[in-house]
A = this chain, B = another copy of it.
Amino acid sequence: MEVKIALIGCGTVGRGLLEILDRKSDHLKSAFDFEPKIVAISDLLKGSILVPDGIEIKKLFALLDRGGRIDQYFGKGKTAQLLNPLDMIEQCEAEIIAELTTTDIKTGEPATGYIKKALRSGMHVVTSNKGPAALYYHELRKMAEKNNLFFRIEGTVMSGTPVFSLCEGGLAGNEIREIKGILNGTTNFILSKMELDGMEYTEALALAQELGYAEADPTADVEGYDAVGKVVILSNVLLGGELTPANVKREGITALNRTMVMAAKEQGFRYKLIAQTKKAGAKIEASVSPQKLPLSDPLSGVMGAQNALTFDTDLMGKVTIQGAGAGKTETGFSILSDILAIHRRLRAKF
């Protein structure tokens, strides 16, 4: 069954999604009766196109790979150059909008505006953008429900590793009392290098930057802001909180040094940057801070760029999921995963 999809933003995540759709089209059709048709793409840097008959992904890749722009694409069907994502939403007739622009955790814009426009236009929305999810989740979710639409955000935490789908699927029926995890791969990589290779913080950070795990300005990662955004999303979506980033106690890893890490190791402990949120009466208490975990804690074994979350539940006790926290294919998959969840529910066939 054909599903019309439009992309806002076509950077790493968009490319990851399109590669999967191209590579696995036979499997997606046979296993899920899912035939995606990309009817429009709007990208700030590479231009916009509207192709009602569906974009040929291989042709688009060939164009991009030789340095071309998206708006140089010509294929079967009408092709137009659009001015901006809002125009695209109006004209594209997609069933699902994949919002894949860059996160602005302070304002949530311009993504939030795009998402509202899409929901008002009767389109489901999936996004990996932490801004709208951290700042406006309840508002956007209500807007979607009022219009019988889905607003899904799997990729905002741990990329495509199942977090929200795990809780609404296999763990449904449990009350989640506390969520605790490692949600930032950059800091986890740095801490792993400090302990396993005896590096100083600055040395490990430089290596992370060299390998592309950390940005030139590493503040968002090492000071815990990235993890704060994610813990706000977990609090609001899974614990029913109404937190903003300002409600989260935050401490980064910049005050840790090799001596502290090694002393902890001697005692059988391991430093991790832990994001944590729990119900405390009617309140939700959330924090991001370096913690010394005993080696028996499932989170202490999570090394390098991996992420993990432990859910403390009333029926199942502690359930931990560990997997990728970032990556082109992994985050691209998170978008596919949300689209498939919508497809499954609308068709209710399996």
Given contacts A161-B316, A161-B319, A162-B166, whether A333 and B174 have CB atoms under 8 Å apart is yes
With most chain B CB atoms within 10 A of its CB, the pick from A32, A162, A174, A303 is A162
Q: Which residue of B lies closest to A343 (CB)?
A: B172
**A330 close to chain B: CB less than 8 A:** yes
Residues of B close to A154: CB separation below 8 A:
170
Which residues on B sit within 8 Å (CB–CB) of A330? 315-317
Q: Are A319 and B322 in contact (CB under 8 A)?
A: yes
- Chain A 158-192 per-residue mask, 1 if CB under 8 angstroms from chain B, else 0: 00111101101111111100000000000000000
Question: In the complex, what distance in Å separates the CA atom of A256 from the CA atom of B286?
Answer: 45
Q: Tell me the chain A residues, 1-45 only, with Cβ under 8 Å from chain B.
A: 20, 24, 27-28, 31-32
Best-surrounded residue of A172, A319, A333 (most CB of chain B within 10 A): A172
- Knowing A295-B301, A340-B173 are in contact, say whether A333-B345 is a contact too (CB < 8 A): no
User: Could you say which of B32, B300, B321, B344 contacts A320, with CB atoms under 8 Å apart?
Assistant: B321
Q: Does A296 contact B (CB under 8 A)?
A: yes
In the complex, A298→B27 CA distance in Å? 30
Residues of B within 8 A of A170 (CB): 154, 161-163, 165-166, 169, 337
Cβ-closest chain B residue relative to A28: B173
Q: Which of A165, A175, A301 has the most CB of B within 10 A?
A: A301
Q: Is the CB of B317 within 8 A of A320?
A: no
Chain B residues whose C-beta falls within 8 Å of the C-beta of A161 in the assembled complex: 170, 316, 319
CB distance from A147 to the nearest CB of B (A): 15
Query: Which residues of B have CB within 8 Å of A337?
Result: 170-173
Which of chain B's residues has its CB closest to A159's CB?
B316
Chain B residues, CB < 8 A from A20? 173, 315
Chain copies in the assembled complex:
2
A302, CB-defined interface residue at 8 Å:
yes
Say if the beta carbon of A348 comes within 8 Å of chain B. yes
> Which residue of B has the minimal Cβ distance to A160?
B316
Interface of A is mostly: mixed
Question: How far in angstroms is the closest Cβ of chain B from A303?
Answer: 6
With A162-B169, A169-B165, A323-B320: A175-B27 Cβ-Cβ less than 8 Å: yes
- Residue A205 at the chain B interface, CB threshold 8 Å: no
Chain B residues near A317 (CB, 8 Å)? 323-324, 330
**Given A27-B175, A162-B171: A329 and B345 within 8 A (CB)?**
no
Which residues of B lie under 8 Å from residue A162 when comparing CB positions?
166, 169-171, 319
What 4 A-B pairs are tightest by C-beta distance, nearest first? A162-B170, A301-B301, A348-B348, A165-B170
A-B contact pairs, 18 of them (CB 8 A): A20-B173, A27-B175, A28-B173, A161-B316, A161-B319, A162-B169, A168-B350, A169-B170, A169-B341, A171-B337, A173-B333, A174-B333, A298-B301, A315-B333, A317-B323, A320-B322, A321-B322, A322-B322
